[in-house]
Structure 1
Amino acid sequence: MIQMNSRLHVRRQCRLLKVNRSSLYYVPKPPDPEHQAWLEMVMQQIDRIHLEHPYMGTRKMVILLRQMGITITRKTVRRLAAIMGICAVYPKANLSKRNFKESIVPYRLRNYKACFPNQVWSIDITYIPMPHGHMYLTAIIDWYSRKILEYYLADTLDKETVIAAVKEAVARYGIPAIINSDQGSQFTSDEYKKLLKQLGITQSMDGRRRWADNIMVERWFRSLKNECIYLNEYQTPRELLQLIGKYVKDYNTIRPHEALEYQTPDEVYYSCFQAA
């Protein structure tokens, strides 16, 4: 709205519009490629530390990173961890009240045992490092069979990814009775809750101080990273998606699962429907 060639002085225009005049002349500085590459490297190390020691906070992370030769401050580690969507796993003090209590639903699965497929699903999101940047993986797992029903790779943390993952899983496998998640903003959004309500799915969320409530999908993320992501090279999101797709296929169809009496998730999932 401000015109440099107007008969009205720029100072006067800024005053009328209540705009700081210095912001008018500000030119954003493009990010330094070397600094961005360094930040991505640090984020990869933070992800590795969190994967092996999920209880570790930013103070101890800083110490471990410095032992690796990475000079960094706690403030930077805290900021990068927030971007990645991770936090230390431990009971936290009730220092503040949430302003979105109406968005939180109870955890409905305490002492609950799934007896057949599609009774309970879990959904979660994890950070995946890239050579230049990072991606986020959304996954849905069936509680009874441990089968990975759907996965969705995206470069942002938003509600659209979880909504798309749920829609794809429902289209392929039917509607579950309950779907559990953490209390992330994607799962407390009106759009996500409206979708579950339209589908007739009961929503469940991890309880406060109950980080283990969604442990099934968290353990799968850990296996994926240790057995696949960190052992292979990939350059593009397409290559990463192909790598994850192969791992999911092998996990569902080939790999025996100890908790399933060494059957594969696919064998357990589909055998129930065959018996019926």
Structure 2
Amino acid sequence: MIEPDHPDLSIGQQCKLLSIARSSFYYTPKGESDQNLGLMRQIDEQFLETPFFGVRQMTWHLRNDGHLVNEKRIRRLMRLMGLMPIYQKPNTSRPAKGHKTYPYLLRGLRVDRPNQVWCSDITYLPMRRGFLYLVAIMDWHTRKVLSWRISNTLEADFCVEALTETIHKFGPPEIMNTDQGSRFTSFAWTDRLRRSGVRISMDWKGRFLPSHGLQANHCKAVDNIFIERLGAP
């Protein structure tokens, strides 16, 4: 909103008109320190080995490796990386406020053919200077990744782009199953599915997958393993 080369108003005058501090205009985010990026790399490597590690276990692990860290710091870094341990706990996938959620449709359903059910999830890719986010759409029956997109933000747009490409290539599935994360409960995502005649299914706590004797969180872990392998070294 501020024009540095405005012919009549200085930067200070523009800041005053907008009721913001002049220092805010010149502020440049520093990003994570090299130390925190190193910790994030170690957290990432350990989490792939022990995806059930929460903040407390991860903190203990890093302390045993000689890092002077506290739970508050590790909680912030794990949240920044989008890591949530695999165990039963409430509200692990919250929709954004005002977003509609949909019932889980796969209970008792036999998934026995391609394009019957698709699933989608988001994971992160560790980079030298931070992380990118990967969304992948997979056919539930074949476990084939049908399309994927990478983004440096968690906006819903890159998810919808991947969905649109997949429908264009393979035609719409009968059911799309996701978690209740804000990208998948967004209007852009659900509207694209509804306009294609796709039934929307969303995971909920304690559900069971068809033809499996595993609880939701365990099966969610299996689905994530397929997708996370795309970003594994």
Question: Shorter-normalised TM-score: what interval?
Answer: 0.7 to 0.9
Following superposition, the deviation at residue 99 of structure 1 comes to: 7.5
Partner of 2:6: none
Aligned to 2:223: 217
Q: 1:109 to 1:80 in 2, by over 3 A?
A: same
Equivalent pair of 2:178/2:202 in contact (CA under 8 Å): yes
- Report the CA distance between 1:28 and its aligned residue: 2.2
The Cα shift of 1:25 comes to: 4.2
User: Measured at CA, do residues 212 and 5 of structure 1 come closer, stay the same or move farther in structure 2, by a change above 3 Å?
Assistant: closer
Q: Report 1:144-223 matches (<5 A).
A: 144-209=141-206, 210-223=216-229
Distance (whole Å) between structure 1 residues aligned to residue 148 and residue 46 of structure 2? 24
2:66 maps to 1:60: no
- Change in 2 beyond 3 A, CA 1:102/1:19: closer
Q: TM-score scaled to structure 2, two decimals?
A: 0.78
For 1:84-123, what per-residue CA distance to the aligned partner results, in whole angstroms no more than 9, with x for missing partners? 22212222257xx988475211111123221110000110
Asked if 1:69 is matched to 2:74, the reply is: no
Equivalent position amino acid for 1:135 in 2: L
Does structure 2 retain, via aligned residues, the 8 Å contact 1:186–1:192?
A: yes
Q: Can you give the 5+ residue segments of structure 1 that lack an aligned partner in the other structure?
A: 7-12, 231-276
**Aligned-partner residue type, residue 197 of structure 1:** R
Give the count of matched residue pairs.
214
Larger radius of gyration: 1
Contact 1:206-1:213 at 8 Å conserved across structures: no
Distance in 2 between residues matched to 1:217 and 1:71, nearest whole Å: 34
1:221 corresponds to which letter in structure 2?
I
Could you tell me which runs of 5 or more consecutive residues in structure 2 were left unpaired when the two chains were aligned: 3-8, 207-215
Q: Secondary structure at the match of 2:27?
A: coil
Which residue, out of 95, 113, 116, partners 1:116? Answer: 113
TM-score (structure 1 length as normaliser): 0.67
Alignment partner of 1:51 out of 48, 51, 72: 48
Report if aligned partners of 1:182, 1:214 keep a CA contact under 8 Å in 2. Answer: no
Shift of residue 145, structure 1, vs aligned partner: 1.1
* Shift of residue 5, structure 1, vs aligned partner: 8.2
CA deviation after TM superposition for structure 1 residue 149, in Å: 0.8
Cα 1:88/1:146, change in 2 over 3 Å: same
* Paired amino acid for 1:217: D
Residue 133 of structure 1 is matched in structure 2 by 130
The 2-side partners of 1:173 and 1:5 are apart by 55
Contact 1:159–1:187, Cα closer than 8 Å, also in 2: yes
Higher share of residues assigned helix = 1
Larger RCO: Structure 1 or Structure 2 (Cα < 8 Å, ≥ 6 residues apart)? 2
Range that drifts further, 64-73 or 123-132:
64-73
Aligned counterpart, 1:28: 27
Counterparts of 1:203 and 1:98 in 2: how far apart (Å)? 14
2:116 is equivalent to residue 143 of structure 1: no
Q: Could you tell me how far 1:30 is from its partner in structure 2?
A: 4.9
| Contact 2:101 2:180 (C-alpha < 8 Å) held by counterparts | yes
Q: Mean alpha-carbon deviation: is it higher for 168-177 or for 207-216? A: 207-216
Judge conservation of contact 2:96–2:185 (CA < 8 Å) in 1: no
Aligned equivalents of 2:143, 2:171: Cα separation in 1: 16
- The residue type paired with residue 140 of structure 2 is W
Give how far 1:138 is off.
0.9
Instruction: Read off the aligned partner of 1:170 and give its amino acid letter.
Output: I
2:83 matched to 1:86? yes
Classify 1:4/1:182 alpha carbon distance in 2 versus 1 (closer, same or farther; 3 Å): closer
